[in-house]
Each structure stands twice: as C-alpha cells, then as structure tokens.
Structure 1
Amino acid sequence: MNVRKGGVADAAALAELRGVDGHKLGAYADWVAAHADTHLPFVAELDGRVVGAAWLLVAQRVPSNESMGRWYGDVQSVAVREEYRGRGVGGALIAAILAEARTRGLLHVTVHSSRRAVDFYLRNGFVHDRELLLWEPPAS
C-alpha cells in the first residue's frame, strides 16, 4: 500500500469516495485547488487504485502572548472503499495525517467521529477530551 499526499490530480477519486456526483466533478476539483493550503488530502493506493482517502484541515488559532503561530489540525472525510476495509488502510491514512501534523508542529489534531468509528480513532492515538464542546443550531 502506498499512502501519499493527494491533490487536484486525484479529484475524481476523492469525489467518488465522498459520493460526489460526476456532474459536480469540475466544481469539486475547483474546491480542492482553492483550498490546497488548508485542506490536505491523503490517498491510499493499492495496485495503482485509490482505495481510501482522508483529509487534514490545517487552521490557525488566534495568537497568544506565548505564541503568534498557533496551528492545529482536524481530520475530515475519512473514507475507505468497502472491499478494502479491515486491511489497515484507514490506520495508514491516519498515521500519514499524524506524521504531517508532527512535521508541521500542530498543537493538536481533532476529529469529529461517527459513533461507529470512535473505537478506530481511539486505537489510532486519539483520546476523549472533556473540554471540546459542540454547538448546533436548533432544528427549524
């Protein structure tokens, strides 16, 4: 398996993994290009085929007296083709993202997980945090 940083050249595979309709591929590729500095896709390939992807959002927090450069990350849109699940693809993608986070010196990396994936993230180095709170607008 090869895990690497992706980009616009991978837009079709990234869109397919996200369930983006083919007629929206151009707009999706434009979005990938426009957000290349903040949303880093990582792709996992087996036999020349993209079988999984995960994104690292890199964002900056408001500077403090201690540091003007307070960068953090957020894992987004992890997807592995169903027939390749259970083969370590997801873990390899997360390992690549966390290696990138270390290289960039990020303060921390968060993930907003579905309930079924919580154990996966716990196995891959994430922990529950009592300080992370969530607000959602009320249903209208």
Structure 2
Amino acid sequence: MRRAGVADAAALAELRGIGPEQLAAYAGWVAGHAETHLPFVAEADGYVVGSAWLLVAERVPGNGSLDRRYGDVQSVMVREEWRNQGIGAALMAAILAEARARGLLHVTVHSGRRAIDFYLRNGFSHHRQLLLWEPAEP
C-alpha cells in the first residue's frame, strides 16, 4: 500500500477504463490535481491490483474555525481476481490514516449499493443529513 502519483498514471488510468489515447490528458489531470486528489495503490509483485482516491476539500471558515478541511473517498477499485483478500480494507486504512494525519474533520463516501457493507465494515456510518440535488434530464 502506498501513495501514488503521476508516475502511476498508466496503472491508475487502466483501472478506471481510460484508454491509451487519453493517457496523456489523464496524467495531466493527475498532476494538476495533486494537491486535492490523493491516489493510493495496492501492489502485488510490482503490479497494481487496486486503487482508491482521497479528495481533500475545504468548507468555508466558520463555527470558530478557519480550517474546515474534509475528505471524500473516490474511485475505490480492486481487480476482480484480487477481491476478498483484504486489499480494499488496506486501501481504506491508508486513506483514513492520511485523513487523520491531515486533521480532516470527516470523510465521506458516495457508495453504490453493492459496496455499502464494505464501507460500514471500515468505520463509515449512515448520515441522516446528507441531501442530494441532481439536474433534471432534458
């Protein structure tokens, strides 16, 4: 388990289904967002078998605090043949350790139904105050 970066762009892109024709643009995105989007990878014998991202964002100062940074977990992926071996949990442990080290207020995740139990097992809980707006389709 380790922090990843631009040097890992090809492996990160492949996990996200981004083809070689878009790799340069994707690597540019990774580099351009290095301060806010922190990738982590799990490796086995030098091969990237999983990844997860921590978005570090900031709320408007208030409530007596100027530092209101929080995190959001994004794009957690483990290759199918490597699932159910603790890799996802190790990725989450690395992300949450980073969140603690940075003093983030909280960490959110927007999960698909199939992954809810995974996040609950890894310390997340349902939160009643999250509301969502989506634009109406044309």
Structure 1, unpaired ranges of 5+ = none
Q: Across the two proteins, how many residue pairs are aligned to each other?
A: 138
Equivalent in the alignment of 1:21: 19
What TM-score does the superposition give when structure 2 sets the normalisation length? 0.99
Which residue of 2 is the match for residue 66 of structure 1?
Answer: 64
Inter-partner Cα distance in structure 2 for 1:102 and 1:65: 20
Counterpart-to-counterpart distance in 2, 1:22 and 1:80: 20
Verify: 1:96 aligned to 2:99, yes or no. Answer: no
- 1:139 deviates by 1.4
Matches within 5 A, 1:57-136: 57-136=55-134
SS at match of 2:85: coil
- Percent of pairs identical after alignment? 73
- TM-score of the pair, normalised by structure 1: 0.97
The equivalent of 1:49 in structure 2 is 47
Over the aligned positions, Cα root-mean-square deviation in angstroms equals 0.6
SS of match in other structure, 1:63: coil
Runs in 1 of length 4+ with deviation above 6 angstroms? none
Counterpart code for 2:6: V
Please list every run of 5 or more consecutive structure 2 residues that lacks an aligned counterpart in the other structure: none
